[in-house]
Amino acid sequence: MEHNRMLEGIESHSVLGMVSDGLPVRINLDLPYNILLPGRDEWERNKTDLLRADSCWYTDGSKTPEGAGAGVYSRRPRVEIADSLGQYATVFQAEIHAIELCGRELEKWGPNRRSIKIFSDSQAALKALGSYRCTSKVVWNCQQTLSRVGRTNRLTLVWIPGHVGLKGNEAADSLARRGATLEFIGPEPVLGLSYSTARSVIRTWAEGDTLEYWRGLPGLTHSKRFIPSSSKARSKKLLELSRINLRALVGLYTGHCRLRHHMHRIGLAEDAECRLCMEDDETAEHVLCTCPAADRTRFSILGKVQLLPEDLDKYSPGKIIDFLKKLELLGEV
């Protein structure tokens, strides 16, 4: 039942019902344009040759918290485009769309038998456009536009290093960033929902649903203070520990360990008094966060004299283990 509830939650998500950018595999063996990926060293040696063409165009894509944008720049003919792509386009889609916009402008210009170069600082976009196998509508549409231009011209797509002072590239970058700040008017998504965006939405939803479930569980007050939310980074670091050290930390985070407070509760210790300070109950929170007898050690290893349980998430599991070892408590938890 729980898995069915999760599926219903995913299916009801408004974003996941949007039009997809996905495409059944299409093969196109006729790509009448070239892809050139010179290295940075080659750009330094042969910059003049790489920039030589009858017409040079520069494209870029941008993604900001406000949205995504595409930019196209050409000096001759004079073209400056800043296009808004809404909230859901990825940087990759923005880069591809910028190149397609460039292709459309070339079709309007109508060159024939000319040497044309389109410069982009996205190797991923150029490699996708040079691939004979396509699974993206955005990439496919761009390939078709470029093919129409390439059949009557010598068209080359060239990788250009970003942010190295090349004026055309800097202009395209500025236009793309301007496009990202513009409000898109129309239905979303502009370019279709990408697989990576859909996966990100599902991950965010699952994390939120898991957090809601965790916080809604009755009891578990101790564990919730030490583990406020799920964390892949924390899980990865914990799983890198030895079995002995992992068991110790799990015991501390759950409170079910051999510290005196828990042992006293289950009738295996005469009292719950902290063996270090003899002033308070020997709980995991007391030992890790507030025990005055451990202040010096806590400061030397964790950088603070006193801590809150939620502060412990900032430290690697290895640091917590080192702290326990220094107090000679690792074998007691």
pLDDT band per the 50, 70, 90 thresholds, residue 2: low
Strand bridging mode 55-64 / 67-74: antiparallel
**Closest Cα partner for 142 from 180, 89, 102?**
102
Q: Are 307 and 293 in contact (CB under 8 A)?
A: no
CA max distance for the chain: 94
Domains and CATH numbers, the chain: 18-198 (3.30.420.10), 221-332 (no CATH)
pLDDT band per the 50, 70, 90 thresholds, residue 10: low
Q: Which H helix or E strand runs over 9?
A: helix 2-11
Q: Is the peptide bond before 77 cis (omega within 30 degrees of 0)?
A: yes
Task: Name the 3-class secondary structure at 61.
Answer: strand
Phi and psi at residue 178, to the nearest 5°: -65, -40
Is the pLDDT higher at 332 or at 3?
A: 332
**pLDDT tens, position by position, 71-122:** 999 998 999 999 999 999 999 999 999 999 999 999 999 989 999 999 999 9
**Closest Cα partner for 136 from 246, 26, 11, 259?**
26
Strand bridging mode 154-159 / 55-64: unpaired
Task: Name the 3-class secondary structure at 325.
Answer: helix
Q: pTM to 2 decimals?
A: 0.76
Q: Which of 13-17, 104-108, 130-134 has the lowest mean pLDDT?
A: 13-17
**Cα–Cα distance measured from residue 39 to residue 60, given in angstroms and rounded to the nearest whole number:** 18
**Cα–Cα distance measured from residue 140 to residue 7, given in angstroms and rounded to the nearest whole number:** 31
